[in-house]
Chain A
Amino acid sequence: MTTEPILSGRGLIKRFGKVTALDSCDFDLMPGEILAVIGDNGAGKSVMIKTLSGALQPDGGQVYVEGKPVNFQSPIDAREAGIETVYQTLAMSPALSIADNMFMGREIRKPGLVGQWFRKLDRPAMETFAREKLSELGLLTIQNINQAVETLSGGQRQGVAVARAAAFGSKVIILDEPTAALGVKESRKVLELILDVRSRGIPIILISHNMPHVFEVADRIHIHRLGRRLCVVDPKDYTMSDAVAFMTGAKEPPSEAVPA
């Protein structure tokens, strides 16, 4: 392939004491694609995307954005580079409202003096925007944009987190198990959203244990095993059973799918 990956990692290493979560792991996300990442529990998927999103700093290896090496010191840095992440833990402040959470760290201030001198937040603008984004996701069961996130159901919370990432991601959107707690209808909405985001030209990393979903939307599948990329497969060439067999080590990956 001649196109350059939009986000990539080479030889990423991350250790937690004796546990090696990332063992010289490589990663590539191509422009405009939906890349699914699958792997067993504890394979190191979440740790990998955290090193890509600045939430963790790798002990070794290098992250690249459009071929240029980057060293994100915090998620704020990655966000400024246009990389938006829905973490598995969702990263919500339970006592704060939906609107507050959606705009955490990028609040809108009132125009003019009030905003400049008194740093007053533009609540109406933030609320309108938040409501719009939630409606797009079909999360209409949320009645009050000012309700505290802790009063939402687990699935609704997940919906808010996905809406937040989709609304602000301009270069890459990373979703760590975005549909794990969602109902059938809500999962469908998230999948539609993922396809919609791709049609806007923004590539997506989707971590999921849901094989039908993965095989439905993914352009490529990154199979993660024991802290590293085992292989990358095209969902059109393999079945779900093949993928599960590679991921669990029941079957050797095909040599052509193993990256050099």
Chain B
Amino acid sequence: MPTDRNADNYESVLTGASKDVASFEGEEKGFVGRLQEMLHATPSLVPLIVLVAAIIIFGIALGSKFFSPFALTLILQQVQIVGVLAAAQSLVILTAGIDLSVGALAVLSSVIMGQFTFRYGIPPAVSVMLGLTIGTAIGAISGWLVSRVKLPPFIVTLGMWQILLAANYLYSRNETIRSQDIETEAAFLQLLGVKFQAGGATFTLGVLLMVGLVAALAYALRSTAWGRHVYAVGDDPEAAELAGVNVHRTLMSVYMLVGFICALTGWVMIGRFGSVSPAVSTGMMGNIQSITAVVIGGISLFGGRGSIVGAFFGALIVGVFELGLRMAGANPQWTWLLIGALIIGAVSLDQWIRKVSQ
């Protein structure tokens, strides 16, 4: 036995140590502390509160003109493109990435679906399927560059954005396929634009798709192993890898799913606009619009935190502001001023909520 061991046997007093479970006074934190913890646990709460408040304020100010089933469902129709793109963007941002190419991929996919049908005479349903497949494949390329080649997502998707936008103009030869032509010859392409009424409210299949998609992704992220892995990879990829997550496979699945959802957005766009045009603003603006919705929705740009439902609320907030201010006859610049303030507010709040952990 070595002699210098436990010269002072300090551990022997442990036998007398309290065996009680530590208990803390929950009240000590006060209202602000508990609010902080609540928001930490349920990050979509803030955008929900902002959304409800905005609807109530516009409802009071504008009366039934705004607060009607018609106007409120009109908002849903107006946000369906950004809403679906925001779902895709949320997934990438949860992995601590960012995707600047979402809008361009959506437009390219709509052009592929349209041109495949009209240029090559492929049945529209098959064209849609091919569009979705190509979108997924393009997502796989971005995913591979991020995950295997280890390029920063910002750079990969910045390049991809330019490539896809240019490919979109080159391939379409800058041609627009007119709405009437699609309607008479390939109505299936406009399927997601099909409207139906329910007591003054108007829904389209595209709106249902958006809501269904958000619900499905929210479920997958919260209640499946894949969803937990997406969060873990966004939180700390090295820790996730050591803990037994296949980081490469998770990232690939996310980028491929994002490509698929972007292509789906292309199909939604045909339903919404009727026509197929390579020049729609989504190609240029889709990325910023979706990132805006995601940030207002409380998803952290550092990854691993936030909920996709929050991003959906974020998209709705933008839609409510746009329609409400337009109805109020305000200069549209007010919308962007308010949205800008919301973005900064949302990120400040995110910083504050994160302090719970320190």
A: residues with CB less than 8 A from B are: 55, 74-76, 79, 85, 87, 89-96, 100-101, 104-107, 109, 118-121, 123, 140-141, 143, 148, 150-151, 184-185, 188, 212, 215-216, 235-236, 238-241
Q: Considering the chains assembled together, what is the distance between the CA atoms of A74 and B23 in angstroms?
A: 40
Question: Closest 5 CB pairs between A and B?
Answer: A105-B244, A150-B357, A91-B242, A107-B225, A239-B2
Distance to closest chain A CB from B256 (angstroms): 17
Can you list, as one digit per residue, whether each of B231-275 has a CB less than 8 Å from chain A (1) or not (0)? Answer: 110011011111111100000000000000000000000000000
Task: Flag if A94 contacts B235 (CB, 8 Å).
Answer: yes
24 A-B pairs within 8 Å (CB atoms) are namely A55-B242, A76-B244, A91-B238, A91-B239, A92-B239, A93-B235, A93-B236, A93-B243, A94-B236, A96-B235, A104-B232, A104-B244, A104-B245, A105-B229, A105-B246, A118-B224, A123-B223, A143-B21, A185-B14, A188-B11, A212-B6, A215-B2, A215-B5, A239-B3
**B228 in complex: contacting residue of A100, A141, A151, CB < 8 Å:** A100
B: residues with CB less than 8 A from A are: 1-6, 10-11, 14, 17, 21-24, 40, 219-220, 223-226, 228-229, 231-232, 235-236, 238-246, 304-305, 356-357
Q: Considering the chains assembled together, what is the distance between the CA atoms of A123 and B225 in angstroms?
A: 11
**A95 in complex: contacting residue of B6, B23, B226, B304, CB < 8 Å:** B304
Distance to closest chain A CB from B243 (angstroms): 4
Name the residue among A74, A104, A215 with the largest chain B CB count within 10 angstroms.
Answer: A104
Q: Considering the chains assembled together, what is the distance between the CA atoms of A101 and B304 in angstroms?
A: 14
CB contacts (< 8 Å) of B10 on chain A: these are 184
Q: Considering the chains assembled together, what is the distance between the CA atoms of A216 and B6 in angstroms?
A: 10
Which residue of chain A is the closest to B244 with respect to CB atoms?
A105
Task: Flag if A74 contacts B241 (CB, 8 Å).
Answer: yes
Task: Flag if A240 contacts B5 (CB, 8 Å).
Answer: yes
Which residue of chain A is the closest to B242 with respect to CB atoms?
A91
Task: Flag if A93 contacts B232 (CB, 8 Å).
Answer: yes
Which residue of chain A is the closest to B247 with respect to CB atoms?
A74
Task: Using known A-B contacts A93-B235, A93-B240, A119-B224, determine if residue A212 contacts B5 with beta carbons closer than 8 Å.
Answer: yes
Task: Flag if B241 contacts A107 (CB, 8 Å).
Answer: no
Q: Considering the chains assembled together, what is the distance between the CA atoms of A247 and B15 in angstroms?
A: 34
Give 16 new A-B contacts, CB below 8 A, not counting A89-B239, A143-B22: A75-B243, A76-B244, A76-B246, A89-B238, A93-B232, A94-B235, A95-B231, A95-B304, A96-B228, A119-B224, A119-B225, A120-B224, A121-B224, A143-B21, A188-B14, A239-B2
Distance to closest chain A CB from B194 (angstroms): 28
Task: Flag if A104 contacts B243 (CB, 8 Å).
Answer: yes
**B246 in complex: contacting residue of A74, A100, A109, A235, CB < 8 Å:** A74
Q: Considering the chains assembled together, what is the distance between the CA atoms of A150 and B225 in angstroms?
A: 20
CB contacts (< 8 Å) of A188 on chain B: these are 11, 14
Task: Flag if B243 contacts A101 (CB, 8 Å).
Answer: yes
Task: Flag if A240 contacts B225 (CB, 8 Å).
Answer: no
Task: Flag if A89 contacts B223 (CB, 8 Å).
Answer: no
Task: Flag if A87 contacts B242 (CB, 8 Å).
Answer: yes
Distance to closest chain B CB from A95 (angstroms): 5
Q: Considering the chains assembled together, what is the distance between the CA atoms of A188 and B9 in angstroms?
A: 13
Q: Considering the chains assembled together, what is the distance between the CA atoms of A107 and B6 in angstroms?
A: 42
CB contacts (< 8 Å) of A101 on chain B: these are 243
Task: Using known A-B contacts A141-B21, A215-B5, A240-B4, determine if residue A91 contacts B228 with beta carbons closer than 8 Å.
Answer: no
Task: Flag if B14 contacts A96 (CB, 8 Å).
Answer: no
Distance to closest chain B CB from A52 (angstroms): 13
CB contacts (< 8 Å) of B224 on chain A: these are 118-121
Q: Considering the chains assembled together, what is the distance between the CA atoms of A91 and B233 in angstroms?
A: 11
Task: Flag if A109 contacts B225 (CB, 8 Å).
Answer: yes
Which residue of chain B is the closest to A184 with respect to CB atoms?
B11
Task: Flag if A104 contacts B240 (CB, 8 Å).
Answer: yes
Q: Considering the chains assembled together, what is the distance between the CA atoms of A92 and B53 in angstroms?
A: 38
CB contacts (< 8 Å) of B40 on chain A: these are 148
CB contacts (< 8 Å) of A106 on chain B: these are 244
Q: Considering the chains assembled together, what is the distance between the CA atoms of A105 and B238 in angstroms?
A: 14
Q: Considering the chains assembled together, what is the distance between the CA atoms of A212 and B305 in angstroms?
A: 42
Q: Considering the chains assembled together, what is the distance between the CA atoms of A185 and B236 in angstroms?
A: 30
Q: Considering the chains assembled together, what is the distance between the CA atoms of A55 and B245 in angstroms?
A: 12
Distance to closest chain A CB from B339 (angstroms): 27
